[in-house]
Amino acid sequence: MDTKFNCPRCNQNLSVEASGAGMLVNCPNCKEQIEIPRGAVEGKEAMEGKEETMNPKLMPCPDCGHQVSKQAATCPGCGRRISFANAMFSAIFWGILAAMLVAAIIVLFFSAVYQLSTLH
Ligand SMILES: [Zn+2]
Ligand SMILES: [Zn+2]
């Protein structure tokens, strides 16, 4: 995580590794030696992170905590079933689609056979 702060000399926006807090660095803008403040903007970043998890379309996976869409049937992270209704819906949907495809092939096949038998 980065710590963001303004250079006390030239007010330049700076971003450094949080692990560098308390260290002395040279400002890339004014070349003055400045101290990286400890946890200057960490609270703000934590709040931004909280907003992300509150996305109404996403929910954390109960197994691995992966952020997954509520519409998803399974978790892309661990494969856990998220919504039984969604899984059932997709199973029924693909089942009907496959049945219709098979029926269409049978109908086309028999109509072709029928046409051939009537032509000759
Ligand atoms: Zn500066
Ligand atoms: Zn998961």
25 alpha carbon – ligand 1 mean position (Å): 10
User: pLDDT (tens digit, 9 = 90+) per residue, 51-71?
Assistant: 555 577 888 888 898 888 888
Residue 1's Cβ-side half-sphere holds a number of Cα atoms within 13 Å equal to 14
Contact (Cβ atoms closer than 8 angstroms) between residue 21 and residue 39: yes
The residue ranges of every structural domain in the chain are 92-120
Amino acid at position 99, single letter: A
pTM of the model: 0.31
Q: What are phi and psi of 97, to 5 degrees?
A: -60, -45
2 alpha carbon – ligand 2 mean position (Å): 28
2 alpha carbon – ligand 1 mean position (Å): 18
User: pLDDT (tens digit, 9 = 90+) per residue, 7-60?
Assistant: 989 999 988 887 888 889 899 999 999 998 876 555 555 555 555 555 778 888
